[in-house]
Amino acid sequence: MSLSLTSTHWGVYEPEVRDGRLVDMKPFRHDPDPSPIGASMVAATVGPQRVMRPAIRRSVLAHGPGAKPELRGAEPFVEVSWEEALDFVARELTRVRTEFGNEAIYAGSYGWASAGRFHHAQSQGHRFMNSIGGFVSSYGSYSLAAAYAILPHVALPMPQLRMAQTAWSVMAQHTRLFVAFGGMPVKNSQVNSGGASEHELSGYLQRMSDDGVAFVNVSPVASDLHGARNAEWIAIRPNTDVAFMLGLAHTLISEGLHATEFLARYCEGFEPFKRYVMGEADGIAKSAAWAAGITDVPAQTIEQLARRMAANRTMINTAWSLQRTDHGEQPFWMTVALASLLGQIGLPGGGFGLGYGAVNAEGATASTFSGPVLPQGKNPVSQFIPVARVSDLLLNPGGQYDFNGRRMTYPDIKLVYWFGGNPFHHHQDLNRLIEAWRRPQTIVAHEQFWNAHAKMADVVMPATTTLERDDIGSAARDRFIIAMKRAIDPVGEARDDHDIFSALARRIGKAEFASFTEGRSKTEWLRHLYETARVKAKNFDIELPGFEAFWSEGFVEMPRPGKATVLFESFRADPVANRLPTPSGRLELFSSVIDSFGYDDCPGHPAWLEPAEWLGAPLAQRFPLHLLSPQPATRLHGQFDNGTLSLATKINGREPVTLHPEAARVRGIKAGDVVRVFNDRGACLAGVRIDENQRADTVLLATGAWYDPLVPGEIGTLDKHGNPNVLTLDKGTSKLGQGPAAHTALVEVERYTGELPAITAFELPSFVGRQSA
């Protein structure tokens, strides 16, 4: 009997099924440190939150598209047949395309729904949209939007850099000092887009600790560098990392510790950057003493760290979270500049990395071969938005904005089609999003569960989960390709996204159907994608077995590369023959291109720019706590918040918020209390944990608790469950990147003394019969 496996973004598992029921998820035997999130899949996959059959909001069914949008999230649904739901959506797509053009359709869905490469919801949806004439798309990701904008100008595009980051095996051998700005939470490395079959980070941290590697955690939170023994914690004020790095740079330059030969040969623009650092440009020397006043870190600590970094083989790591702040482009650019001053870029174990620990792939000793990929086709519509500007898009049709050197205009969106994502999890300032969500005429959603995303839609079509379909799991820098065999029958009337889009394409037209399906069944598609990848694998010196052998065996284990990667190694060896794709071909500490844009929030060199909200601002008198909303340990984003692992961590049914003992004491709060976390944008309830291993002026509320409004559909109502995005700032990082600034938010916390409202996040919406509609 062949092995039956399923791949998820947090690991590979062997489903155990008895009498057609899923009873267990056994970790993959090749995974040295499997994620516990798999346990949440057992009960949740067949749980009461599943969308069992298609449903249409009552007013829409009765009166047609655009009826009473203010009732989204509050009005009952009417369950309908698949035929009726598909007919409705096909008619609506045709109407909008005919009356307004494809530029009136936004389908900016996210890609974390499935680790499978064929049933990847975003790929399926975009392929379908392209087959019917296109759609307004999104650029970048909530994780890395600022990085996507800044890095092509100054180093390497982020996707290329990620595939070339120095491997952990190299750092274990050569690195002596590892400095982590924003920490390196092992919990984040549980996950990886496309699959995470072999979790290695904990093992490497233990090995490096045993070998005497020194770790420094520059973060408001000590546990941000968990697993590295005896790590030094520098408790920096949130959102001030660039000032800290500038203090390091000033020390290196003023003491003659900077690598002048490296800067001359490999870098562009050192002199204007130096003038800024030394205060020649603006009269303010960015010294350690100057940085101390901003960062709340003693000048001596900054100076001593600079000297240690110059004296040792040093790896600088900057967390992805730091570019999800106001002016988030600056921490990554400053990381490049600081590492350039040290002159160790391109050496084994030295230089910099961006996001080690952010996901499992960063630093993995594995091939960059990514396996099968579903072609999405070409989008005939050229209009797009930066990914995190969804509310701006819907609220400001025809409005103009700047993005990466371009002056752009928001299109007028009439229909939003969302699949494989949940904007009511990952978007900032949910009250503003609710207002924006009332503007389109129609909102269509594919969903597995009745979460806030489904409840806020007009039409909901039930989609299968990973366990209910055959697929292929694969990801770059992951050593296994997984034959994902269906473990259980679809729950309720759930259908694969591919089947839904195929049915819609058939209704829209023969040409559209042919373009989407290419005449292949799902099984034929799996075979085709695998065999196409098999040919591509030869370019990576990888020999894959034929499809039948792969499907029978259950997985393919690919060999480790003969040589582990070192970031910029070839560039260091010959910067002329191996020039970078920047305008100068070198690392740019000053960018004439960015300088030419004239942006006041992103000048031509890395700079300290005061955030819109931070603890050094007058607003901190009203809201004296900085909110950090990290990734949770018990789920992926909002996925499986209804799972056993996540539910077990709730306090009085609410998401935990972590306070320092002193912050709790002065507010009369104790562990286990329910508190109200609030600012001018909104408020939520959360259960209290106490932890001294964080700054007293910082609170942690993990992202991903299902949004649960006290009054469904109402703007400004209390969230009962602890979703931090009722509090976060919906502002672009800068005119350059327009990324999310989720980690720039001030709040206050008070003990909640009223009667606790019941949690309804996991309850179904109301349903009424057709006669009622």
Catalytic annotation, residues: 110, 112
Angle formed by the axes of helices 270-277 and 241-254, nearest 10°? 100
Contact 646, 680 (CB under 8 A): no
Q: Which residues contact 652 (CB under 8 A, 6 or more apart)?
A: 672, 674, 687, 756
3-state secondary structure of 729: coil
Question: Phi/psi of residue 657, each to 5°?
Answer: -115, 135
Place of tokens 């003693």: 298
- 563, β-bridge pairs: none
Q: Which residues contact 338 (CB under 8 A, 6 or more apart)?
A: 245, 248, 249, 316, 352
3-state secondary structure of 557: strand
- 432, β-bridge pairs: none
- CA–CA gap between residue 734 and residue 74 (Å, rounded): 35
- CA–CA gap between residue 466 and residue 364 (Å, rounded): 25
Q: Using the 8-state DSSP alphabet, how is residue 561 labeled? A: P
- CA–CA gap between residue 733 and residue 611 (Å, rounded): 9
- CA–CA gap between residue 170 and residue 185 (Å, rounded): 20
Q: Is 427 left (phi over 0), alpha (psi -120 to 50) or beta?
A: beta
Q: Which residues contact 687 (CB under 8 A, 6 or more apart)?
A: 650, 651, 652, 653, 654, 655, 656, 657, 672, 673, 674, 675, 722
Q: Which alpha helices (H) appear in 619-683, and where do they start and end?
A: 644-647, 661-666
Q: Which amino acid is at 389?
A: R
Q: Which amino acid is at 44?
A: A
Burial code of 385-398, b = ≥16 C-beta within 10 A, e = fewer? bbbbbbbbbbbbee
Measure CA 465 to chain center: 20
